[in-house]
Amino acid sequence: MDTFPARLTALARFAALQPLIAANPATPPTTLEQLSTSTDPGIRRAVAQNPNASVQTLCRLAGEFPQEFLHNPIIPLLSMTRPAFVKDLPLLSWASLLRFENLSRSWLQQIVTDKSYERNRSPILRLVQLHVTQAGKKPEAWRFEATHALRAYRQIGKFQQTVGYQPKATPLASIHQQAEIDIFLLLALLCPQCAPMLKEQWTNVVHTSPDRIVGALSSSLAISSKTLSLLSFERNVPVLCQVARHPRTPANVLVHLAGRRLSWEVRCAVASNPHTPLENVYRLLSDSKRVVRRAAVSHPALTQQDYEILALDQETSVRAALARVPRIGLDLLSQLARDPAPAVRAAVARNVKINVETLTTLAHDPEPVVRAAAAANSRLPGEIQSMLATDPEVAVRAGVSGNARLPESCFAVLVQDPSPLVRKQLAANSRLPVQHLETLWRTGNAEVWQGVARHPQTAPELLTQLAQQGDARVRAAVAAHRQTPLEVLYALEQENVREIWQGLAMNPNAPLDILERALATPYTDLWYRLFNHPTMLRNQRRPYLTLLASKLQQLMVANSFPNWLRKVVFQYYTSFPATIMEPFASSPHWEERYLAARHPQIAESLLDTLAHDGICYVQAGAQDALQQRKLSHNLKH
């Protein structure tokens, strides 16, 4: 506190010192004014508690930090020496301060008796008149009056528009926009009943964060057909592809997308959608791009006659795609097995419906790519697999190493194979006896270790060694293994590497606290990976609700609540989990606190707080809810 003010101002340019400087009463008011716009809420909070901050700064921060404002040592002094300072309070600050029922009566009387408020600042006057000291603790018609005010509030829209409050542009704007997008994506995941009210937000977010919309579209089945129709007019190719693949996209939208010549990727996506009308599939099968024809080949509406025509396509990749279709007839499959193109014969060898005789013939094919495909097919007889285990081509031996029905006699041969690729495939084979894993571990080859880390029977002790000595890909595989010890998972988490987080998200035994921290990382694609994780489902997806509640709180304290979100909350608040509604109990807007008080599962501790709210309607609603709970409890007992 003895540091000279000029020195504190000079030190304020160092971010690490700003929390200390914001709390130091010797800091000059001009420096505190600059710190009050920091993106760090802790710094802004410290300024609100600093008695050396200017009255203008304190009055502005009262909206975000009302308790800190009221407990600032300078406030009682101002009330005695300069009582009219309360007239400097903006509307948002009044809205926050009126939460407290023991607010100074003299402050309120100044507003009520000042005729200029009725003419020029009527929104503040109307708010002050709702305080329990002015309106009484429980107006007789409180329920009707509150409901009427809520309806009008929802119709008018944003608080800023309702009362004419225009917040200053601050560095927080981009943070608030990001929080708004996060809230939208979380609502789309957690509250599918809100889908009809979110269609405009889907299109808005496409323009700001199209990459995040792609992930949301791929995992959100609750999106409405109207929303998908709106998104079909965008120009972002990845977004259009996800719309074209979505199972709820209407047939007329798929026809529209197939007719747009924006990108062959979109036409491929349309071709892969089983709901695409057959006449459009036929058009796509004659597309000039072979990749589009290749995608259309697997459409489930095609018949065997269609397959026979497609078998005559001059493009090798189209015939190869046809050979992989499980529904293709055995006669046509045998015909394609004699195709002059090795890629087509290899595709036949991969088909799970191929007969053993044809597969055996392909296992003797002169082309390595065909033998490799046949070697990986689980229908291949054991004696042929044993023969291919000594094939001179690495790709063939690698194919047979991963075969799900590899004979036990082959393991001893392949475990000594000189190729790391062969040993990697062998290590990941679930039929590999456990004793061979130690041999593969001793190779010291990171590529082989990846296979060892993926083997379902790898011992916890070996996984621990792999986590300590393997590269990033090996450690990611260890993170995904269900046998990995908990202490190893916690150690891997500390690396904060995207691939390892993805591995942890795939581990069905990952503990809840790790998954909570995964949700807090910048990698929002984990939100979709973790949504149906077994641990999340056992815990009713509570981390998602907690994350959404924190995002809501972030927007709420900064008065950046978007209008669309306000409407959604007003429409669905009774069906939301209580966790989502808890932040509204500390909202600066009484209408939102009233909604929290009327939620059927809101915590009783919050109801107790709201029962002493400064606004008469909130107080009456909370007291009524507490009384109803008490009656219900008495009836049960």
pLDDT at position 164 is 37
pTM, to two decimals: 0.82
384: tokens are: 């042929």
d(CA 465, CA 483): 13
410: tokens are: 């082959």
d(CA 580, CA 398): 52
Which residues partner with 613 through β-bridges? 100
- The SS3 call for residue 515 is helix
d(CA 540, CA 579): 12
pLDDT at position 216 is 86
Q: Sign of the CA dihedral 60, 61, 62, 63?
A: positive
Conformational region of residue 480, where left means phi above 0, alpha means psi within -120 to 50, and beta covers everything else: alpha
Kindly report the three-state secondary structure assignment for every residue of 266-277: HHHHHHHCCCCC
d(CA 432, CA 56): 74
Query: How many Å is the maximal CA-CA distance in the chain?
Result: 101
d(CA 460, CA 506): 17
Which residue has tokens 């002059």? 340
Residues 351-386: b if buried by 16+ CB within 10 A, e if exposed: beebeeebbbbbbebeebbbbbbbbbbebbeeebbe
Residue 398's pLDDT band (cuts 50, 70, 90): very high
233: tokens are: 């007019």
- Look at residue 313 and tell me whether its pLDDT is greater than 50: yes
521: tokens are: 């990382």
Write the burial class of residue 72 (CB in 10 Å: 0-12 exposed, 13-18 middle, 19+ buried): buried
pLDDT at position 459 is 94
Name which of 42, 46, 43 is nearest 71 in CA terms: 46
d(CA 220, CA 242): 11
Which residues partner with 100 through β-bridges? 613
- Look at residue 221 and tell me whether its pLDDT is greater than 90: no
pLDDT at position 155 is 65
CB 325 within 8 A of CB 307: yes
**Averaged pLDDT of the chain:** 90
Distance set, CA 335 to CA 332, 354, 374 (Å): 5, 12, 16
CB 453 within 8 A of CB 463: yes
d(CA 596, CA 575): 12
CB 347 within 8 A of CB 323: yes
CB 411 within 8 A of CB 439: no
Identity of the highest mean pLDDT range in 92-96, 203-207, 507-511, 585-589: 507-511
pLDDT digits (tens, 9 = 90+) for 144-180: 888 888 877 766 544 443 443 334 434 455 567 888 8
d(CA 5, CA 11): 10
d(CA 455, CA 471): 17
- Look at residue 564 and tell me whether its pLDDT is greater than 90: no
Name which of 207, 64, 120, 451 is nearest 46 in CA terms: 64
pLDDT at position 158 is 41
CA angle 112, 116, 122 (to 5 degrees): 70
CB 188 within 8 A of CB 567: no
pLDDT at position 411 is 92
d(CA 273, CA 634): 57
Q: Report the pLDDT averaged over residues 198-210.
A: 87
Residue 570's pLDDT band (cuts 50, 70, 90): confident
pLDDT digits (tens, 9 = 90+) for 402-452: 999 999 889 999 999 999 999 999 999 999 999 899 999 999 999 999 999
